[in-house]
Amino acid sequence: MLGVTGGVAAYKTAELTRLMVKAGATVDVVLTAAAAHFVGPATFQALSGRVVWRELWDERASGGMAHIELSRGADAILVAPATADFLAKLAQGLADDLLATLCLARECPLLVAPAMNRQMWEQAPTRRNLRQIDEDGVTVLGPASGDQACGEVGPGRMLEAEELFEELAGFFQPKLLAGRRVLLTAGPTMEAIDPVRSITNASSGKMGYALARACQEAGAVVKLVSGPVALPTPRSVERTDVKSALEMRAQVLAALPGQDIFIAVAAVADYRPATEAADKIKKGSAGLELSLVPNPDILAEVAALPQPPFCVGFAAESRNLAQYAEAKRIAKNLSLVVGNLVQDGLGGDDNSVILFDASGSHTLPTAPKLEVARRIVAHIAELLRGR
């Protein structure tokens, strides 16, 4: 069930309706009186292929009880946009229109996508109302920060339709890691040569961030230690930024106590310069020689602890994938190694991987990295059940 309140962001909800219907969902739309001033019912009826609901006492519902009956078969209610006024209604349990009454009388999960002026978003009453609905079990999606219809810039912008669609898909993922605590590393490390140059690996961080999101979707409490990337932090994931391998090692070891699962996705540089120049090394006609020393093997160190968490490693190879990935799993005593050829996914949005565990190898089909991550999480959960 899709609730639409009175905000200019309602135009995004029309696109969200189209995306959900295209994915096979049955979407019932409920408009508030204010919402109809922005996008009319005819638009949502055309996109959903179903009657649009507006009135509290609509006689089309069974027994004239639309406020009770409409949500009974729904898997969830999403209110998008959710204005400051509507968030206040939810916090106080008001039921003065059809949508507010449906939310109060529901037996299914409730999600809201706030949308409002940045000053409204930042005011104390709105913050108080958000805390209250969070305590009441309402899931808040967003908002984003950026240009607003009023001409201002800041937090309060509703998530885009595609983002809300992905959030809904994640919300309905099986909670295979419920109660688990997961620590991940992602992205590259950068080992300084001088103040402006460094040694690094070619890693976008996309696979690690997809796994962090997939673990969160599966119900885990997720901590992410990230090298330098240009990616947003997945919702409800605690992120710590680092640059070098030594910084990453320190943050991993500090966060490790109490973790059930450690997933080492980061492309940690194997070597670092023996010394870092205090000033920029000036270019000359002669060559430049660097003395390199090995970086610590963070994954091997964690896996070698007396009581290690469930350890997952990654093996990105250019050839002989099965040979090298299985050797890595055995040498480091890992529960699982995710292997891929760099030409099959490095830096891209899709990936093709093979999972290596004690029972053999398992090939996953090529898919977007988030879908691959969800399949990896399912495999981890299966291995954990076996333990």
Q: Which positions are catalytic?
A: 150
Alpha carbon distance 334, 65 (integer Å): 57
Q: Which of 111, 140, 239 has its CA nearest to residue 187?
A: 239
Q: Would you state the structure tokens that stand for residue 121, as one six-digit string? A: 């978003």
Alpha carbon distance 285, 231 (integer Å): 38
Residue labelled with tokens 């300084």: 192
Cα separations in angstroms, 264 against 68, 131, 300, 306, 320: 48, 34, 10, 18, 21
Q: Would you state the structure tokens that stand for residue 371, as one six-digit string? A: 């879908």
Is-contact 2 13, C-beta < 8 A? yes
Where are the alpha helices (H) located in the chain, listed in sequence order?
A: 10-22, 41-48, 66-69, 84-92, 98-104, 118-122, 124-135, 161-171, 206-217, 245-255, 298-303, 321-332, 369-386
Residue 13 has φ and ψ, to the nearest 5°, of: -70, -30
What is the four-CA torsion angle of 84, 56, 73, 37, rounded to 10 degrees? -50
> Which uninterrupted H or E stretch holds 363?
strand 360-363
Q: Would you state the structure tokens that stand for residue 283, as one six-digit string? A: 């270019």
Q: Which residues contact 317 (CB under 8 A, 6 or more apart)?
A: 324, 325, 339, 340, 341, 342
Alpha carbon distance 37, 98 (integer Å): 17
Task: Output DSSP code: residue 343.
Answer: G
Alpha carbon distance 316, 324 (integer Å): 9
User: What is the residue type of 47?
Assistant: L
Alpha carbon distance 243, 250 (integer Å): 11
